[in-house]
Structure 1
């Protein structure tokens, strides 16, 4: 499937990198990755969405991948939500938002700020997250501020964090998640300042979500990894209270990185949902 890479202006001279695939004018699906990931985690999903008749826009969140970093370290959810509004404007109505982890929180915030999609898919994320799971992710993302001497050392760090996932024999794919610094070391592609930005807290989103009126009319799907350390039964019940018509698909054998752990099962569940509630 052919993809076109575009730059999306989001204000203050900043742009975000995005890949677009499929027929322009078709119902649009915007894909937002998780914190510490890049748009390339959605590559296969983007291709399959395009093949199913959708126009897919797959973007790097602010401070990630090939997108610009905030010069003032602003990574508030409200800022990310405005970014998402600019990205969604590159497509057509109707449109759906699909977000994993941080991308899902961004989609929720944007919906609470007036961007009403025809469908919403949250990938292993709920507003009421497991504190232990959040601490684990933060610990990984804040570790190794001095970078790595080699790609192999970065792969060791990932394996230590996620031992359930087989270590790839070919590490070249890691180049998409690393940048080679002037210091001769490899660093993660994301801006570590986002980890200390208190404006990124989801508490305000919870208040907005409770006051929102879209939650009873926007078809919403939660795709949960059954081995997730972020989404608990309590968190699911809390989201269901806020979104009464919530649908849930449980992906067995998947952790927090659902699309990476069980990609085919994940893509099938998401595309099946979208074809039902927002046909291409």
Structure 2
């Protein structure tokens, strides 16, 4: 267990950039400063590090150094000139972010970030101290993923305003009572040369990563069997990406893993029910063995 900090104190935030071995500059943001108590958050496809803002601040207030980063081709991180993205690149990026910390960190990965976390934890057994997966398993429900991809393929022409984008997102997430604020939308959209707002990720990634991810399923299943660090899967009760069968399969592959369900949450667990999600994360962290 780590030392609890003042829950009312806002943790200091530091923005840095990490150069990868293949020349990509990853945008990182760190909250808190506790040597030897590191967490790295890996976001889902089409998101940015801002998706983790509330949880990263909460764990920093609890005495951890919380690091979020934009995956390559997302947010403020570099885009590949070639447009030739792969899952292996994303795994290598996470490996380098983890290696840049003061010690092997806890990795929290949602969706794409979770798959990358599974691959890393199964390939490099000392790369992370523990693993928290958010609504993702090595085998996923194709219909749920296709629904997400359909949304991401829509509106290639972008949006005329933040209000228009907010309307589209509200239609995609009808269960959320509150719309995204202009500040939060600003991290997901960038103005193009024609003045329209487009998603803040490289559109060339979509089909290549989607196809590459499917081809990696067998490798991810094997990687899961090699995970030795403390592991927790947090799923949403209303998710269409994981199911009882894929969760049971994962728990068979990783028999020491724990599983918790967040009621009324969809695949976007942290965004749907952040308080309950953050509470589960903190409980898991509190129960980790001391080094």
Q: Which range, TM-score by smaller chain? A: over 0.9
What CA distance in whole angstroms lies between the structure 2 residues aligned with 1:160 and 1:211? Answer: 36
Equivalent position to 2:79, from 65, 69, 74? 69
What CA distance in whole angstroms lies between the structure 1 residues aligned with 2:111 and 2:80? Answer: 20
Residue 237 of structure 2 is matched in structure 1 by 226
What CA distance in whole angstroms lies between the structure 2 residues aligned with 1:80 and 1:118? Answer: 19
Correspondence 1:20 to 2:30: yes
Runs (4 or more) in structure 1 with deviation over 4 Å come to: none
Residue 280 of structure 2 is matched in structure 1 by 269
Residue 206 of structure 1 is matched in structure 2 by 218
What CA distance in whole angstroms lies between the structure 1 residues aligned with 2:63 and 2:72? Answer: 28
Provide closer, same or farther for how the CA distance between residues 191 and 277 of structure 1 changes in structure 2, counting only shifts above 3 A: same
Residue 5 of structure 2 is matched in structure 1 by none
Residue 250 of structure 2 is matched in structure 1 by 239
Provide closer, same or farther for how the CA distance between residues 172 and 23 of structure 1 changes in structure 2, counting only shifts above 3 A: closer
**What is the CA RMSD across the aligned residues, in angstroms?**
1.8
**C-alpha contact 2:106 2:129 (8 A) present in aligned 1:** yes
Q: Deviations over 1:189-220 (max 9, x none)?
A: 011111111563243353354266632x3111
Q: How many pairs align?
A: 279
- C-alpha displacement of 1:26: 2.5
Map 1:118-197 onto structure 2 (within 5 A). Answer: 118-168=129-179, 170-197=181-208
Q: Deviations over 1:136-173 (max 9, x none)?
A: 00011111111111111111211121111124284342
What CA distance in whole angstroms lies between the structure 2 residues aligned with 1:203 and 1:227? Answer: 26
Q: What 5-or-longer segments of structure 1 have no aligned partner?
A: none
What CA distance in whole angstroms lies between the structure 1 residues aligned with 2:196 and 2:38? Answer: 39
TM-score, length-scaled by structure 1:
0.93
**C-alpha contact 1:73 1:197 (8 A) present in aligned 2:** no
Q: What 5-or-longer segments of structure 2 have no aligned partner?
A: 1-10
What CA distance in whole angstroms lies between the structure 1 residues aligned with 2:160 and 2:86? Answer: 32
